[in-house]
Structure 1
Amino acid sequence: MARVTDLSDEDLDVLRLLSRGHTTDAIARELGVSERTLRRRGRLICDRLGVKTPIEAVVWAVRSRLI
């Protein structure tokens, strides 16, 4: 089980934007990173949380009251 400290502020920003329905392109622009970097961060977030998809990561963050 992941701990809240496993996620950085940037990770939480990604999850917040995903939860609001933003596209990968829009999130990358908002955060000033490439789409490739954003996809890599998404995989790392999923690995840290022990989930398979970014949507599962968002659900985890919502249920944990992080976003």
Structure 2
Amino acid sequence: MRYQATEPNGDVSEEDLQMIALFAEGLSVEAIARRFDLSERTVRRRARTLCDRFGARAMVQVVAWAARRGVI
């Protein structure tokens, strides 16, 4: 079964889009945490929250949604 991100529940903030873009660039959780001055745990939690909001199983599906919509 293929899983695909759906339209998000609620608005996607500018910071969320920036985080999605960094995942799309292939940055690690550690690198993203440094960019946002957050802990790695917080970045992982926010990534999981984004996945939940999009009905996705992995960030790659959220990245694909953003790329299809032209937002990253």
Q: TM over 0.5: same fold?
A: yes
Q: CA RMSD in A?
A: 1.6
SS at match of 1:6: coil
Corresponding residue pairs, total: 67
The partner residue of 1:22 within 23, 27, 30 is: 27
Task: State the alpha-carbon separation in 1 of the partners of residues 15 and 37 from structure 2.
Answer: 11
Identical residues among aligned pairs (%):
42
Q: Provide structure 1 residue ranges, at least 5 long, that are not aligned to the other structure.
A: none
Question: Which letter maps to 2:32?
Answer: I
Task: State the alpha-carbon separation in 1 of the partners of residues 8 and 23 from structure 2.
Answer: 20
Task: State the alpha-carbon separation in 1 of the partners of residues 31 and 45 from structure 2.
Answer: 16
Larger radius of gyration: 2
Report the TM-score when normalising by structure 2: 0.84
Normalized per residue, the structure richer in helix is: 1
The partner residue of 2:11 within 3, 6, 11 is: 6
Q: Provide structure 2 residue ranges, at least 5 long, that are not aligned to the other structure.
A: 1-5
- Aligned structure 1 segments of 4 or more residues deviating by more than 6 angstroms: none
Report the TM-score when normalising by structure 1: 0.90
